[in-house]
Structure 1
Amino acid sequence: MNQKKLISKLKKATSASQKKDHITTIKLCRDILYKSPVNIPAHQLLITNLIALKRHDEVEDILKKVILLMTEPKSYAFEHLLGCNYISQENYTAALLVLEPLFNKSGESKFLLDIALAYFRLGDYESARVIYLKLIELEPNNHQAKFNLYPILLHFKDYKNAWGCFHSRLGLDIIKDKVHWFAPPWSGETLRGKNIIIHPEQGMGDNLAYSGCFAEAIADAKSTHIICDNRLKGLYQASFPTALIYSSEDVKQTKKIDAELDVQILGGSLAALYRLNDESFINESSLNVPQFLQQEKSSRLSDKKLKVGISWFHGRINDGNKHSMYLEELLPLLQIENIEWVNLQFGDWQPEVKKVESKYGIKITHFEDCCASGDFEHYGALIASLDLVIAASNAALMFATRLGIKAWMFLSAPKAILQQGNFEDIDKRHKERRFYRVDGESWGGVVDQMCDEIKLL
């Protein structure tokens, strides 16, 4: 294959990769590498697309061969990819064995981001904190490092610095490209006496969680304008009657708000003003749904002893990630008598429910007119009618806590963190009851614990 054909095929592979046609990209790259074994761009494209398909074992084999082929400093990029591939496989110890020597011999600060991430995922928060701080000292404008550092600082209850790092997310392309500015951005000042506009966060769960600060902001400001997902508009109007509520869909169309505004702040950044100690988390106000709506939803539920909402995965698709369960794993809980199970799940839940209902004869109640994909005033009224919500870390869980409904959350954590034994103290910030498993272990122990506790309700 001559040079001109190689360049042409590489362009085709690049185009296919941009279109996320991973199979075509991999085939083209393998053709190139058969003729040109040390073609760096082809190797990089091949590895990137194999990682996208989670073919990590193939990636590892290729990277090890490529590293032997390359001479310093060209191999650094591929050694870095090898370390990142181990992180993708959740093999954080192996990642550190690659990345730490790489930093030591190269001195390049860019490797510190992944080294700190590996320590964080291992549960060594102190080492992760030290490395992130070192990276930020070297690169003061590294917004990703600051964003990654903020949950670690929250863990150590360093609230002021945690929220400062969280606010730095405005420097990330994924955030700043989605924010339309209607007023000067907030830069740490008080909101007292000002005309403010609150911009939404990225996910529905985050929007619900950070709405806990709205009442305090409204009390401080002269006037408050809130932009939100259209599904939240009715709920917010009922909960914050003195604020002006706009749907993000309407605002995208007009690109303007007819009001005199002094400052614009993202909903999550309000925490930097109003969530600076444990008590401020505990005492936040709740969202409200109209009483008549709640009564209407309650009338449609059965007369069983408990009405329990369930939402077992995070996101649109249940891909078995460590923050989610498969519905069948909840079977011991679902088989307990005298409980009506109510579906609160968002996304592609139908195959799992159909399987559980047909295979085990378990009924999961679902109301299409007040579901997670519809108006949250009605969805909230349904949640407010329940005795308990059991969920992953998702919008259903956040919504239940914001409505003051008893909520249980199941989640994974590194073994090292759980062994520290300080979760009871940390969890005082949260309204939900938390059930932990060790990363990588079965959910069986968590489900058994929930079974024992639900029988006491």
Structure 2
Amino acid sequence: MSPDDASRNDLPNLTVQAARHHAQGRLAEAVTAYTDALRLDRRNPALLYGFGLVLRDLGQMDGAATCFEAAFAIDPRFADAADSLGTLRAGQSRFEAAEACHRAALAHSADRATFWNNLANALSRQGQAAAALAAWQRAVLLDPALPEGLSNLGGGLRDAERLEEAERAHRRALRLMPGEPQANNNFGHALQARLRPAEAARWFRRALALDPGYAAALCNFGLAVQRLGDGGLADLLYGRALRVCPDLPLARFNRGLLHLERGELAEGWAGYGWRFASGQAGGARQPRLPAWRGEDLTGKRLLIWGEQGVGDTILFSSLCAEAIARARSVVIETDRRLVPLFARSFPGALVRPQSPDAEAVPDCDRHTPIGSLARVFRRDLSAFAGSAVSWLVPDAARMAVWRERMAALGPGLRVGIGWRSALMTESRRAAYSRLDQWGALFAVPGLVFVNLQYGACEAERVAAEDRFGVTIHRWDDLDLTDDFDGTAALMASLDLVIAPATAVGELAAALGVPVWRFGGRDWTQLGTAVRPWFPAQRLFQPRGGEDVQDVLNRMAAQLARRPI
């Protein structure tokens, strides 16, 4: 027997030794054994894959990737190597590459539940929510006892607002791994989404009993107790989460909102600055410009770009005039529907639709999202003193048309109404009303009702008219969803607007129209009994034991008792 043959006879023993060392956590010995084995058989895909797993556990990701790639190149049917490479790429935030690897693995092993779960994770991180949800569902179909698949499926269902299904999926995952902190945390998160913070808090406590340093559970527990009214404990929990993970975006953001709810504006705006990183405000633009943080703007051109929803943009637009006064010039890029209204209202700025090229803005020197103007101009409550009652200017010609239309409706107090968001989900439903709850308001004499509810609401309007014997006036030539300039002209012709927390009330109040806003407290009150942004808004909020129906009835009683 030649020396080479003798060495090759050692290969099985070396392979077994390498795998045993790895399983026992003796990574240095495993590296030695794999290295010796690969000297004897450099193109053995199983050895390359095993060596890659060891290097991965040692944190040597580039070396691990090289091994996985080589193993899959030598044997394109080696699905585990492709899948592991995909997971590694996902850990490097290379999610498109991860997706390609997982799909390559599934091309050869389409019945592997873990592969589908990993593909779903990569799809989710690319924002492909529907495709990710389908892949998690496939994973759980293939293996109904796959805990991580059930947990991830629950998260996907929660994000899709399928909250009852999400709770069931998380409950199944919890049964499979009751001692796993993440399963307990995720189940609590599902309950929290269903507005059951007291129940959610129990599961966050269990997660923390299993892992006291679990930063995400500390953050979630903080939000639960904050919603239960214990801001002091919430602050402590956010602090603990940030000591474990100093840059945990959601803890920074939630703590910021807590400060804003207390009227602690300087600290609150610092936390609010984490809204994009925490995923609470959609995607942030990244213009190739320095960010403006309040420094001198003499001679500088400032870009202010819209963010979040139309209602948020309208609220923060109350600060645009102060920015315009500081800069050489200002460009406001916003939702196309707001452009005519903003252009008229801020004649000192160039107002245009949001650029299709979010990065290149050659005519500006600095940039800021519109919500970040507050950290410069509203660092304490005294900065609201003397705020304008209105700052948006309707089109005079269109307003004249609407005044004629209002006059044609006859005598009475002209009341514009909105009752819900266009996007109604389980978690948002409690903040809004149904039109069939407005009976007491419709019974108040001397009111002329005008529809301001955008979106598909015709069936609700017709049903309410039939049930309550009331007319809710509307006009086919006004698109309440897309024509904000026309809607503003209509609103400016009204005596009162009644609406929940939607863009309807924000737009009307920014025009100076009296608004009665119903619903719960939120951070925009900044620790006060009003909303300092909107002097034209009056808040009607549930008292102890009241629900939305009770609040609407109370509003009706006030309208019946006295004029506005």
Query: Shared topology, TM-score over 0.5?
Result: yes
1:194–1:222 CA contact under 8 A, matched in 2: yes
Q: Which moved more, 1:283-292 or 1:50-59?
A: 50-59
Q: Within 5 A, what are the aligned runs for 1:116-127?
A: 116-127=222-233
Q: CA deviation at 1:382?
A: 0.8
1:316 maps onto 2:423 in alignment: yes
Distance 1:407 1:333 in 2: 15
**What corresponds to 1:81 in structure 2?**
186
Q: CA deviation at 1:44?
A: 2.4
1:213–1:284 CA contact under 8 A, matched in 2: no
Q: CA deviation at 1:255?
A: 6.1
Q: Does the C-alpha gap of structure 1 residues 254 and 179 become closer, same or farther in structure 2, counting only changes over 3 Å?
A: closer
1:304 maps onto 2:411 in alignment: yes
1:185 maps onto 2:294 in alignment: no
Cα-to-partner distance string for 1:351-387 (whole Å, 9 max, x where unaligned): 2112212333321112344343123221111111111
Distance 1:45 1:351 in 2: 37
Q: Does the C-alpha gap of structure 1 residues 254 and 208 become closer, same or farther in structure 2, counting only changes over 3 Å?
A: closer
**What corresponds to 2:11 in structure 1?**
none
Distance 1:173 1:98 in 2: 23
Q: CA deviation at 1:188?
A: 4.2
Q: Within 5 A, what are the aligned runs for 1:347-362?
A: 347-362=455-470
**What corresponds to 2:90 in structure 1?**
none
Q: CA deviation at 1:349?
A: 1.7
Letter in 1 for 2:112: S
**What corresponds to 2:163 in structure 1?**
54
Tell me the number of residue pairs that the alignment of Structure 1 and Structure 2 aligns.
Answer: 437
Letter in 2 for 1:312: W
Q: Which moved more, 1:234-243 or 1:423-432?
A: 423-432
**What corresponds to 1:224 in structure 2?**
330
**What corresponds to 1:128 in structure 2?**
234
Q: CA deviation at 1:323?
A: 1.2
1:153 maps onto 2:264 in alignment: no
**What corresponds to 2:88 in structure 1?**
none
Alignment match of 1:407 (pick from 510, 515, 520):
515
Distance 1:191 1:235 in 2: 25
Q: CA deviation at 1:334?
A: 1.8
Q: Does the C-alpha gap of structure 1 residues 6 and 24 become closer, same or farther in structure 2, counting only changes over 3 Å?
A: closer
Letter in 2 for 1:384: A
**What corresponds to 1:252 in structure 2?**
356
Q: CA deviation at 1:403?
A: 0.8
Q: Does the C-alpha gap of structure 1 residues 175 and 397 become closer, same or farther in structure 2, counting only changes over 3 Å?
A: closer
Distance 1:91 1:255 in 2: 41
**What corresponds to 1:44 in structure 2?**
151
Q: Within 5 A, what are the aligned runs for 1:288-303?
A: 288-301=393-406, 302-303=409-410
Letter in 2 for 1:41: E
Letter in 1 for 2:416: G
**What corresponds to 1:277 in structure 2?**
380
Alignment match of 1:343 (pick from 451, 463, 482):
451
1:365 maps onto 2:473 in alignment: yes
Cα-to-partner distance string for 1:300-348 (whole Å, 9 max, x where unaligned): 1122321111111124347661111011111210232321211111222
1:327 maps onto 2:431 in alignment: no
Letter in 1 for 2:368: I
Distance 1:175 1:61 in 2: 29
2:417–2:452 CA contact under 8 A, matched in 1: yes
Give the 3-state SS of the residue equivalent to 2:383 in structure 1. helix
Q: Does the C-alpha gap of structure 1 residues 138 and 193 become closer, same or farther in structure 2, counting only changes over 3 Å?
A: farther
1:194–1:263 CA contact under 8 A, matched in 2: yes
Distance 1:10 1:375 in 2: 48
Distance 2:494 2:469 in 1: 22
Cα-to-partner distance string for 1:271-297 (whole Å, 9 max, x where unaligned): 111112334335333111132222211
Distance 2:440 2:507 in 1: 25
Give the 3-state SS of the residue equivalent to 1:346 in structure 2. coil
Distance 1:228 1:237 in 2: 11
Give the 3-state SS of the residue equivalent to 1:252 in structure 2. coil
**What corresponds to 1:209 in structure 2?**
315
The normalised TM-score by structure 1 is: 0.85
Structure 1: where are the runs of 5+ without partners? Answer: none
Q: Does the C-alpha gap of structure 1 residues 253 and 262 become closer, same or farther in structure 2, counting only changes over 3 Å?
A: closer
Q: Which moved more, 1:368-377 or 1:173-182?
A: 173-182
Q: CA deviation at 1:226?
A: 0.6
Give the 3-state SS of the residue equivalent to 1:412 in structure 2. coil
Q: Which moved more, 1:238-247 or 1:135-144?
A: 135-144
Q: Within 5 A, what are the aligned runs for 1:436-447?
A: 436-437=541-542, 442-447=547-552
Give the 3-state SS of the residue equivalent to 1:390 in structure 2. strand
Q: Does the C-alpha gap of structure 1 residues 11 and 266 become closer, same or farther in structure 2, counting only changes over 3 Å?
A: same
Q: CA deviation at 1:444?
A: 2.4
Cα-to-partner distance string for 1:406-440 (whole Å, 9 max, x where unaligned): 111111359xx9xxxx9764555643111112698
**What corresponds to 2:140 in structure 1?**
29
2:287–2:359 CA contact under 8 A, matched in 1: no
Give the 3-state SS of the residue equivalent to 2:352 in structure 1. strand
Structure 2: where are the runs of 5+ without partners? Answer: 1-79, 81-107
Distance 1:45 1:60 in 2: 8
2:112–2:139 CA contact under 8 A, matched in 1: no
In percent, how many aligned pairs have the same letter? 24
Q: CA deviation at 1:258?
A: 4.8
2:136–2:149 CA contact under 8 A, matched in 1: no
Give the 3-state SS of the residue equivalent to 2:480 in structure 1. coil
2:432–2:500 CA contact under 8 A, matched in 1: yes
Give the 3-state SS of the residue equivalent to 2:216 in structure 1. helix
Cα-to-partner distance string for 1:128-186 (whole Å, 9 max, x where unaligned): 22222332344332222222222211122111111121123243467584414052112
1:162 maps onto 2:268 in alignment: yes
**What corresponds to 1:263 in structure 2?**
366
1:316–1:348 CA contact under 8 A, matched in 2: no
Structure ID, larger Rg? 2
Cα-to-partner distance string for 1:66-90 (whole Å, 9 max, x where unaligned): 234xxx5xx1221112221221232
2:181–2:210 CA contact under 8 A, matched in 1: no
2:265–2:381 CA contact under 8 A, matched in 1: no
**What corresponds to 2:112 in structure 1?**
8
Distance 2:346 2:514 in 1: 23
Q: RMSD across aligned C-alpha pairs, in angstroms?
A: 3.1
**What corresponds to 2:207 in structure 1?**
102
1:413–1:439 CA contact under 8 A, matched in 2: no
Q: CA deviation at 1:394?
A: 0.9
**What corresponds to 1:195 in structure 2?**
301
The normalised TM-score by structure 2 is: 0.70
Q: Does the C-alpha gap of structure 1 residues 263 and 23 become closer, same or farther in structure 2, counting only changes over 3 Å?
A: closer
